[in-house]
Amino acid sequence: MLEIQNLTKKYGHYLAVDHVSFTVPGGQVGILLGPNGAGKSTIIKSIAGLLRYEGGVGIEQMPARTLEAKRIFAYVPEMPAMFDALTVREHIEYVRRAYNSPITDEEVEQLLIRFELEDKQNKLGNELSKGMMQKVSICCALAICPKVILLDEPMVGLDPAAIKELKEVVLELKAQGVTVLISTHMLEMVKELWDVMFIMEQGKIVGTFTREQAKDTDIEELFFRITGGGESE
């Protein structure tokens, strides 16, 4: 379970996130939507512990900044950054050691095969393209065997095969009881994945829907109905 309670973040005098609270129940997929500048990235970075904030973030009912919470938490940032001198395989090995992850060598192999990285295992971080970095970043997050995973614009830069694979991975994680939060602009890509949707605008949550509440309403229609942008029928 991922709980955000009264999260507020200011950059100087600018209020980027204004008393935001939401919960992604355990084993469900939450999607965080909103136009540019709505505060999605700020929330994501706050959950990942990269920003100072007021309020609380709970991961499986533990404060997010504790080491216990960090052990079961994975984060895929919007802009992946690799270690220049580490190979793809070494990135995963680092993660395995840093998190004392139970993932086996065979599972790592499988992961690399799924994301078409098996022939790039020995490439150094500074030799990878943006798309490959994104794949490595996703593999590293999955190698943690997390209970909660945060994906910030995970589809950007991925090829169609990798997008398809990622969607399957998200559904598998959900089936395993992992809590997933995806922040994205690509509404089309998360259509079949989500259980609960949070729509942000100007630093606030302006709409929350569960799949049951939305019934057959199209995700885009819901989004534009709340934010008032785009064209809805």
Q: Is residue 77 part of the contact set for another protein (CB under 8 A)? A: yes
Contact by Cβ (8 Å): 190, 31: yes
What is residue 223's three-state secondary structure? Answer: helix
CB closer to another protein out of 96 and 223:
96
CB closer to another protein out of 75 and 198:
75
| Cβ-Cβ contacts under 8 Å for 210 (sequence gap 6 or more) | 195, 196, 197
Least CB distance from residue 206 to another protein, whole Å?
26
Residue from 41, 134, 137, 183 in contact with another protein (CB under 8 A): 137
Nearest 5°: CA angle at 192, between 189 and 194?
95
Q: Is residue 80 part of the contact set for another protein (CB under 8 A)? A: yes
Residue from 3, 18, 60, 93 in contact with another protein (CB under 8 A): 93
CB closer to another protein out of 28 and 42:
42
Residue from 125, 154, 157, 203 in contact with another protein (CB under 8 A): 125
Q: Is residue 100 part of the contact set for another protein (CB under 8 A)? A: yes
- Restricting to residues 42-61, name those near another protein by CB under 8 A: 48-52
Least CB distance from residue 36 to another protein, whole Å?
19
The alpha carbon torsion through 31, 81, 128, 32 (nearest 10 deg) reads 10
Side chain identity at 201, as an amino acid letter? E
| Cβ-Cβ contacts under 8 Å for 141 (sequence gap 6 or more) | 74, 75, 76, 149, 151
Q: Which stretch binds another protein (CB under 8 A): 32-40, 96-104, 166-174, 195-203?
A: 96-104
Q: Is residue 84 part of the contact set for another protein (CB under 8 A)? A: yes
CA dist 8 and 107 (Å) reads 39
CA dist 214 and 197 (Å) reads 9
CB closer to another protein out of 68 and 172:
68
Give pairs for 208-217: CB < 8 Å, separation 24+: 208/22
Residues of this chain that interact with another protein (CB under 8 A) are: 48-52, 65, 67-68, 70-71, 73, 75, 77, 79-87, 90-91, 93-95, 97-100, 124-125, 137, 140
